[in-house]
Amino acid sequence: MIRIIDLHKSFGPKVVLRGVSLTIEKGETMVVIGQSGSGKSVLIKHLIGLLKPDSGEIYIDDVEITRLDDDELLRVTRKFGLLFQGAALFDSMTVAENVRFGLERYTRLSEEEVRKRVSESLALVGLNDAECLMPFELSGGMKKRAGLARAIAYRPEIMLYDEPSTGIDPIRADAINDLIKKLKNDLGITSVVITHDMVSSYKIADRIAMLYDGEIIEVGTPEEIRNSKSAFIQQFIHGQAEGPIKDW
């Protein structure tokens, strides 16, 4: 379970999060929507300790992570898999080496099992043929999928997806939605998904949260969000330029 309590974060004078509170249950898929630049990536990076909040608390299975030291934090971090918005592949390693990075170091799998896990993970994202390619040889969408394979390879308990379908063709994007659902159903993974794609959101979400102006303005099931009375949410999910949200 993830509990975020009154999280504040500014970069210099720029206030990004001004009191975000959100609880994500075990095994639940939480989709976070919000405008570009609203702080979704910043929020997700706090969950894994990459950014430290100015104030507020984050509990991961009842461990408060914002004040842990490096090694304690890394122990918590290993519960997580994070798909970066920009994939963040290690550019000096092949795709397969990228995927096996965490497996080799932090699991007790044998070489045989590691190799099997690597090809399984790559197969799940449709990249079987890319094992030996270097990141610079991949297209944008392939990088994203390789990043996804790397994140899921060591079977994290919690997956954080930063725009999993952005930059990927609609067919693959839907396959990735299915993958997210499959991981949740088969392995009981807790997921936080950032996306701009409302169709995907409705498909994969147990609940949807909208981040606006540094706060979560509403949380609810896809049905509740669709029928929300908030004009902000209606404007966002219908993608309208006219409405209460002006500063785009």
Ligand X SMILES: Nc1ncnc2c1ncn2[C@@H]1O[C@H](COP(=O)(O)OP(=O)(O)OP(=O)(O)O)[C@@H](O)[C@H]1O
The answer to whether the beta carbons of residues 156 and 190 sit under 8 Å apart is: no
Nearer to ligand X, 95 or 176 (CB): 176
Query: Whole-number minimum distance, CB 35 to another protein, in Å?
Result: 21
Query: Whole-number minimum distance, CB 151 to another protein, in Å?
Result: 8
38 binds Mg ion (CB under 5 A): no
The answer to whether the beta carbons of residues 216 and 20 sit under 8 Å apart is: yes
User: In the set 7, 29, 39, 114, which binds ligand X (CB under 6 A)?
Assistant: 39
Stretch in the footprint of ligand X (CB under 6 A) among 36-44, 90-98, 124-132, 201-209? 36-44
The answer to whether the beta carbons of residues 47 and 59 sit under 8 Å apart is: no
User: In the set 38, 85, 200, 228, which binds Mg ion (CB under 5 A)?
Assistant: 85
Nearer to another protein, 84 or 236 (CB): 84
Q: Look up residue 151 and give its two tokens.
A: 């994140």
Angle of CA points 159, 161, 167, to nearest 5°: 150
Nearer to ligand X, 10 or 128 (CB): 10
Distance of alpha carbon 37 from alpha carbon 41, whole angstroms: 9
Nearer to ligand X, 39 or 49 (CB): 39
Q: Which residue is nearest to Mg ion (CB)?
A: 41
**Which option in ligand X, Mg ion, another protein, none does residue 144 bind, with CB closer than 5 to 8 A by kind?**
none
Stretch in the footprint of ligand X (CB under 6 A) among 21-29, 34-42, 201-209, 233-241? 34-42
